[in-house]
Amino acid sequence: MSKPSVPTQRRYPPELRERAVRMVKEAIAESGGERHGVVTRIAIQLGIGSESLRHWVKQAEVDGGQRPGVTSEERRRIAELEREVRELRRANEILKSASAFFAAELDGRRPR
């Protein structure tokens, strides 16, 4: 039985992302604020996915304060804190297990 076909995620260089977002912003400004079709047209010109570019533009607007949402910096910080919480919870579980083990070892009432 074969695996279902899942498109692989491509990584684009940061320079391409920045250039593409800049091109979209410039095209929107040139058309007097009209956004319809701009992202798709530029995505085709650059050979990237239109939804990827649409997401990059949206995130750039959030980062620039033009749109509400979680900025890239906040997103990185949240991920870092979540990773730290996972590590601390794991360490806490290890310490609980160790303390229970040593408490049982020191309990004099328990036969060996």
Identify whether 7 is part of a domain: no
Fill in the DSSP letter of residue 48.
Answer: S
Overall pTM > 0.75: no
User: pLDDT band at residue 105, thresholds of 50, 70 and 90?
Assistant: confident
Percent of the chain predicted with pLDDT > 70: 87
Are 59 and 106 in a shared domain? no
Identify whether 4 is part of a domain: no
Q: Mention every residue, 6+ apart, whose C-beta is less than 8 A from residue 9.
A: none
Are 57 and 76 in a shared domain? no
User: pLDDT band at residue 7, thresholds of 50, 70 and 90?
Assistant: low
Tally of domains in the chain: 2
Are 80 and 53 in a shared domain? no
Ramachandran angles phi, psi of 95, nearest 5°: -65, -40
What is the C-alpha to C-alpha distance for residues 102 and 79, in angstroms, rounded to an integer?
A: 35
Q: What is the mean pLDDT of residues 69-94?
A: 97
Note the pLDDT tens digit of each residue in 13-66. 999 999 999 999 999 999 888 888 999 999 999 999 999 999 999 999 999 999
Per-residue pLDDT, 4: 56
Identify whether 97 is part of a domain: yes
Comparison of pLDDT for 67 and 107, the residue scoring more? 67
